[in-house]
Structure 1
Amino acid sequence: MADPQSERERLLAWVERMANHLSEVDGLPPITGRILGWLMVCEPAEQSAGEIAAAIGASRGSMTTNLRQLSALGFVQRVTRPGRRTAHYRLVEDAWDVVVQRQIAALGAFRAIASDGIDLLGAAPGRSQRVRDAHEVFGRLEETLAAGLRGPAAPDGRR
């Protein structure tokens, strides 16, 4: 039988890895990453701010701001229950698709700016090629991410 304390320690270590990754890669505050990581693995899936704070060792005061930020980013939704004053929070079911869709939109916007740069520079050597390279790379990324959201191709090539 697995030791419950050991399992909790492993979960919290994973949550901390998630927080560090999101902090280093996306610039999110570590507390925000810890909340997101915890909501990915907690049971039950819906937790109050107090339960989340206790689980990750955070102050209740930091919860409101960070839960609000995660809600605005499309990761977390606030859930209320009739007759209860305490709100609960849960990971949005399609949160990862929403995040990738935002990244695709950002790539498309960058690609549009690069396209304007190509129009501006014309065939000028050097700097025009650098803009063309960026346009091409971001176009490939946009297509790859969009294809990933559609899921893997079936054996006959359909999605």
Structure 2
Amino acid sequence: MKPKLHEYTSKEGDIGIIISCISDFDCSEFFNSHLGKSQSEQKKIVNNFQSAICNSLANNITNTSWQLEYSPSTEKRDSIDIFGSNNETQVVIELDKHRADQVAKKFVSRNALLIDKTVFYISLCYPGTSNMNSSECVKYFSYCKQLSKRMGNEYAGFIIE
């Protein structure tokens, strides 16, 4: 079970390396049996997944500094699930259940907070319930891609199915 890439602006350069790293990540130990568990149990699974993805990125993309739960603003209470930065770019990776409203809300807020460098924004969605349909989420990935292109940023949208 690996994340499936649904939308992206480009696979060239650093964004391509990040996309490859996430695409090749085996998620089965995290999401094979998480459905039906309590919210607190699911939160632990997602936190472990978040750490594992961040470690994988840090091991494969060494020209970028990686951290968990980065807060770009002291005034706002938003934190970025996985944040990477180097001299040219800021990488934002948000982990969410595959719900279009969560994808759109975080995309808007994170891009508004990070306006001083190019942003590589990645939506990495996992199953929330057995009844959730991912098709609307994929539609919003397309919107995020178009807006990213207009802003001169990069975007990739993944779903773990």
TM bucket (normalised to shorter chain) is: under 0.3
| TM-score, L = length of structure 1 | 0.25
Higher RCO (CA 8 Å, separation ≥ 6 residues): 2
- TM-score, normalised to structure 2, is 0.25
Question: Rg larger in 1 or in 2?
Answer: 1
Between Structure 1 and Structure 2, the one with more strand by share is: 2
